[in-house]
Amino acid sequence: MSENLSKAVPSKWPPLDWPQWQGTCATLHLWTQIVGKIRLALTPWINHSWHTTLYVTARGLTTSPISCHDRSLQIDFDFVDHELLILDSGGGLRRVELRPRSVADFYQAVMQALEQLDIRVSIHRKPNELPDPIAFDQDTVPRSYDPEAVQRLHEILLLSHRVFTVFRTEFLGKVSPVHFFWGSFDLAVTRFSGRRAPLHPGGVVNLPDAVAQEAYSHEVSSAGFWPGNASLPYPVYYSYAYPEPTGYRSAQVEPDAALFNADFGEFILPYDTVRTSADPAATLMQFLQSTYRAAADAAHWDSAALECDAGVPGVPRKVRG
């Protein structure tokens, strides 16, 4: 499996230096929240907030189609030409340039473009999951936007998406899409044991407890890529279990650079460890598989019923009679 994966995924992964791009990261985080909240406002609730997420595309991120009255709406971040595309099923198209500009300026440009398409939507204007939030329409602080750094992020998302997708095929139970959460600003994939979880205590910064409790209504093992922030100023892959089973944090996982971070309550693996390894895709898959194994074994998941071989293009999974 690892050999086939390595052949399918490029061996050179780009650097992403936090100190150099942290301003752009903060800008993009807030812009994706604006777009994500538009999807949130127009879409019926789906379990675990899956109705709110963005998806990786060959050129950036997308909302995917959103039902809007008698039309469908789609909003795409294009990180190749660096523009936001707002499209509707009636042929309407508006573009918003991605460039150094304040959050308020971007917010007004997006809302104006929607109005020009005769689409009116009201969103909660304060960011989620960030400390000391400023309403989008009041955040007039000048913001940076480095196109090259954004393109590097996009390339990492594409490469990670490939590996996450193969990892996803190894599970027969309930498993999330590979999707991008704009609140926490991470690419994630989550497996479920099928069992209910204890009520989540909430307490996520600037996120209603009811949202966190619904998101973690069932037992999970979740993994993803996160570009970092001021408290952890470098990009990482992460993996956690909820509820955390006894013995989980002391489990031996691979590669050796992967460690349990007690402050975050999850295993983390620096992106640079993956990027500089001889086989980045195989190294990342090691991390995904071993941290899932730690969660499943510690919590006594029904592995025989939930797991299967990795999927192969064009070959149906064999089902035993």
Boundary of a domain, candidates 101, 117, 138? 138
Boundary of a domain, candidates 88, 116, 138? 138
Asked whether residue 312 is domain-assigned, the answer is no
Rounded to a whole number, what is the distance in angstroms from the first to the last CA of the chain?
Answer: 25
Per-residue pLDDT at 219: 98
Per-residue pLDDT at 2: 54
Per-residue pLDDT at 7: 64
Residue 242 · residue 197 · CB < 8 Å:
yes
Domain hosting residue 174, numbered range? 147-306
Boundary of a domain, candidates 81, 103, 138? 138
Residues 173, 171: Cα–Cα separation, whole Å: 6
Do 133 and 168 belong to one domain?
Answer: no
Give helix 18-42 / helix 147-168 axis angle, nearest 10°. Answer: 60
SS (H, E, C) the chain: CHHHHHHHCCCCCCCCCHHHHHHHHHHHHHHHHHHHHHHHHHCCCCHHHCCCCEEECCCEEECCCEEECCEEEEEEEECCCCEEEEEECCCCEEEEECCCCCHHHHHHHHHHHHHHCCCCCCCCCCCCCCCCCCCHHHCCCCCCCCHHHHHHHHHHHHHHHHHHHHHHCCECCCECCCEEECCCCEEEEEEEEEEECCCCCCCCCCCCHHHHHHHCCEEEEEEEEECCECCECCCEEEEEEECCCCCCCCCCCCCCCCEEECCCCEEEEEHHHHHCCCCHHHHHHHHHHHHHHHHHHHHCCCHHHHECCCCECCECCCCCC
Asked whether residue 171 is domain-assigned, the answer is yes
Residues 244, 51: Cα–Cα separation, whole Å: 26
Residue 283 · residue 255 · CB < 8 Å:
yes
Do 132 and 157 belong to one domain?
Answer: no
Asked whether residue 3 is domain-assigned, the answer is no
Do 266 and 181 belong to one domain?
Answer: yes
Per-residue pLDDT at 6: 66
What is the per-residue pLDDT across 6-47, written as a single tens digit (0 to 9) for each? 666 777 999 999 999 999 999 999 999 999 999 999 999 999
What is the per-residue pLDDT across 257-306, written as a single tens digit (0 to 9) for each? 999 999 999 999 999 999 999 999 999 999 999 999 999 999 999 999 99
Strand 83-88 relative to strand 66-68, pairing: unpaired
- What does each of the 321 residues of the chain score in pLDDT, given as a tens digit? 555 676 667 779 999 999 999 999 999 999 999 999 999 999 999 999 999 999 999 999 999 999 998 899 999 999 999 999 999 999 999 999 999 999 999 999 999 999 999 999 999 999 999 999 999 999 999 999 999 999 999 999 999 999 999 999 999 999 999 999 999 999 999 999 999 999 999 999 999 999 999 999 999 999 999 999 999 999 999 999 999 999 999 999 999 999 999 999 999 999 999 999 999 999 999 999 999 999 999 999 999 999 999 999 999 988 877
Considering its fold, how many domains does the chain have in total? Answer: 2
Do 181 and 254 belong to one domain?
Answer: yes
Structure tokens belonging to residue 310: 């990795």
Asked whether residue 244 is domain-assigned, the answer is yes
Whole-angstrom CA distances from 266 to 19, 104, 184, 249, 292 are 23, 34, 15, 8, 12
Asked whether residue 5 is domain-assigned, the answer is no
Asked whether residue 213 is domain-assigned, the answer is yes
